[in-house]
A and B are shown apart, each in its own frame.
Chain A
Amino acid sequence: MKVIAVIPAYHEAGRIEETVRSVLPFVDGAVVVDDGSGDSTALNAAAGGATVVRHRVNRGQGAALRTGTEGALRMGADVIVHIDADGQHDPMSIPNLIAPLSTGECDVVFGSRFLGKEAIGMPTSRRVLLSAARTFNAFAVGVPRRVTDPQSGYRAMTAPAARAIDFRHDRMAHCSEILRLVTRSGLRWREVPVCVHYSSESLRKGQKPWDAARIAWQLLLGAFTN
């Protein structure tokens, strides 16, 4: 079973090499999608041992994830793991993510920050926002309430599932979109606990409370766009 990690990266020159090196022991290969960075993200990712594909212009995390997923499929991946470039996602959780896929129990596995493993350094404001996002996802997007983490970007899927999930949101709304597509399809899915480390750097670059409104707007527009 060939496992390939997909890592979207934008202006991550300072961290991407370390992230790639920490992920590679748990997978058979890593695809870093340099999303139009103006720094040496692509070079550093290649130095870490990743296959690098490059967006000539910045298209957003969702777009980069899809590019990486398609790249991984072309490289013959049986299982694809989506993981952030900023080192927030602990690669030690990868075996937990892919275990239900390798036994054939599931097609898609979502990492959750709310299933027992305490996220390290998560601010209270983020916790409150995610709780609100969970309710929003349930009522406005149609994601089942039993999904505990509405915005986890840490997930794994089999190759057939990756081909079936036609996510089109280029920017931040892709998390909710993927959850909706998977939970409304015939794909078998599950959440597993994952460990996430927040640092001041990752919080500075990560989503802000007002991004919630932007995500809601993107989802609304997406509902009317072909």
Chain B
Amino acid sequence: MLIQYILILAMALAFVTTWRRAMQNVIRVSEAIGWSLIWIAASVVILQPEVATRLANLFGVGRGVDLVVYASVAGLFLLVFKLFILHESLERKLTDLVRRDALRDVKPPHE
């Protein structure tokens, strides 16, 4: 089906980009392996949708596509939470800078 061709092409592109970034030292090799496993697993599910259904049955979910949706929601939740934590970390760094600036002229009493 056309959708399979498009998705497989996207996965191949993602795979190539991942390893190009690893070669450019933008990401670590361990990260590239992790992402590659995700692209390969997605490719397997795209080419053999019944694999997802078998996996879904293992978890007690009726259809493979439902399992993919549930997993995606969980994955996106984790990603958003990670972004929140990153944002909080940046906020704290900003506060440290603002504090250092605010206290610049506060000197001990004997000075």
Contact = CB atoms under 8 A, between A and B. Distances in A.
Contact of B101 (A56, A60, A225, A226): A56
B88 A59 contact: no
Interface string B82-111: 001100110110110011011101111100
B106 A76 contact: no
Question: Size range of the interface on B?
Answer: 10 to 19
A56 B98 contact: yes
Contact of A70 (B84, B91, B99, B109): B99
Contact of A59 (B81, B84, B98, B105): B98
Contacts of B102: 33, 53-56, 67, 71
A67 B95 CA distance: 9
Secondary structure at chain B's binding surface: helix, strand, loop or mixed? helix
B98 A76 contact: no
A142 B85 CA distance: 21
Question: Size range of the interface on A?
Answer: 20 to 34
Interface of A: 33, 51, 53-57, 59-60, 63, 66-67, 70-71, 74-76, 168, 170, 221-222, 224-226
16 contacts: A51-B106, A55-B99, A55-B102, A59-B94, A59-B95, A66-B99, A67-B102, A70-B99, A74-B106, A76-B109, A168-B92, A170-B95, A221-B88, A222-B88, A225-B88, A225-B89
